[in-house]
Amino acid sequence: MKKIYSLSEPSLKITKRFLCLLFIIYGFLPTVSQAQILNDALTRQQISQGLDKMYSYDFKESAEIFARIKAKYPQHPVFYTLMAIQTELQYFPLKDYPAQQKVYLAYLNQSRNLAEAMLDKNEDDIEASFFELATLGYMAAFDADNQEFMKAVGVAKKAYSHLKRGLSLTDKQPEFLYSSGIYNYYRIEYPETHPVIKSVIWMFADGNKKLGLQQLDLATKKTIFVKNEATFYAGYVHTKYESNFAKALTYNNILIEKYPDNLLYQMQRAEFLYAVGRYEDSEDFADKILKQKGAMFQCAGSIFKGLIAEKHRKDDKTAEALLLRGVKFPFDERFTKDYHALAYMGLARMAKRSGELDKMKEYAKRATKLAEYKSTLAEAKAILK
């Protein structure tokens, strides 16, 4: 993979983003194999119960369940992986909590150490291999969130051999449907969206976008460990690249019904409800998000309330104030970057209506620099013609 470092700067940037994206998503993948954890029905049930408590923000109860798993498997990485996931969710976004970042990294390092000890005993241990993959994925995501992209790519390169192993195992183990679906979809979609990466994409195994969508949908029904992540990213993919907002909302319906207090799912719901034109329902969730103190939630809540003021209430003055407030908050690479693009498109539409064409073009250009959503890019290009 050394050729990555000989690319032009734009190509290098897109390639790094593609690698980070894959392993950020793969970082949600817990262990799945034929080894001891999945052969233990009680432990599988405990993990499922613990994850349900965790996603419901009952962190005390989930930690107690995870501790019982640790007592049974003291030399297995499962406890440390689960506690890393919990730490990230409990202190989300993690980059706003420096002390907890150290705790998070300590869990990941211990998880990786135990996984590598298992691989030292048996290099064909699939369970250990996937704990290695999960740990490396979370480490890559952490580095990317902190804008250390070269470091993230270095971590991601170490994980690629583990990643490829799961592509042919979906029939044997349904949990692989999620990882394989994500890979099959993005392997085709990402070079379509970012043509500059086509010169280096040959180094990755082939994908199939249609199959990827099918696998993601199956993962929302057949998996246990990664059901929530599969459901979240199925909605994300249908919004970002397929522009199928109604389909995306059906996935979020599942999450919000089961975990109504989950802030990330609430934020996604505000977006999807806005996208399908259910403005008042969207505003209810935007108001919930605005009750949170974090910059990410203030950003998202302000932007969606601003967009609703523009589209639904036709109140450009209020909309402009809210959207300008929203873009003053720093965006998160994974979750709110496209929200900034949506805000700038709202500002561009209002500038067009008021006859401020130079301002309109400036806002639309800002949107194109930030947007990944195909619908946003199409609107920006149309307004700039």
pTM: 0.83
Say if residues 200 and 1 touch (Cβ distance below 8 Å): no
Burial class from Cβ neighbours inside 10 Å (0-12, 13-18, 19+) for residue 137 reads: buried
Task: Give CA angle at 48 (260, 89), nearest 5°.
Answer: 50
pLDDT given for residue 177 in this prediction: 84
pLDDT tens, residue by residue, 206-260: 899 999 999 999 999 988 778 898 999 999 999 999 999 999 999 999 999 999 9
CA atoms of 190 and 206, how far apart (whole Å): 12
CA atoms of 36 and 212, how far apart (whole Å): 29
Q: Which residue has the higher pLDDT, 3 or 22?
A: 22
Helix pair angle (149-165, 9-26), 10° resolution: 50
Per-residue pLDDT at 366 exceeds 60 = yes
Per-residue pLDDT at 320 exceeds 50 = yes
Q: Above pLDDT 70, what percent of the chain?
A: 85
pLDDT tens, residue by residue, 101-154: 999 999 999 999 999 999 899 887 877 877 887 788 788 778 777 777 667 667
pLDDT given for residue 12 in this prediction: 46
Average of per-residue pLDDT across 70-84: 93
pLDDT given for residue 38 in this prediction: 60
pLDDT given for residue 17 in this prediction: 52
Average of per-residue pLDDT across 334-342: 93
pLDDT tens, residue by residue, 26-53: 444 443 334 467 668 888 889 999 999 9
pLDDT tens, residue by residue, 272-303: 999 999 999 999 999 999 999 889 999 999 99
Give Cα separations from 148 to 16, 81, 130, 141, 156 (angstroms).
Answer: 10, 22, 24, 10, 12
CB atoms within 10 A of CB 10: 11
CA atoms of 269 and 279, how far apart (whole Å): 11
Name the residue among 216, 33, 4, 259 with its Cα closest to residue 134. 33
Name which of 75-89, 105-119, 188-202 the model is least confident about.
188-202
Average of per-residue pLDDT across 83-92: 93
pLDDT given for residue 152 in this prediction: 66
Per-residue pLDDT at 310 exceeds 60 = yes
pLDDT given for residue 8 in this prediction: 42
Name the residue among 181, 247, 187 with its Cα closest to residue 219. 181
Q: Which residue has the higher pLDDT, 224 or 359?
A: 359
pLDDT given for residue 266 in this prediction: 97
Task: Give residue for tokens 């440390």.
Answer: 80
356 contact partners, CB below 8 Å, separation of at least 6: none
Per-residue pLDDT at 173 exceeds 80 = no
Q: Above pLDDT 90, what percent of the chain?
A: 60
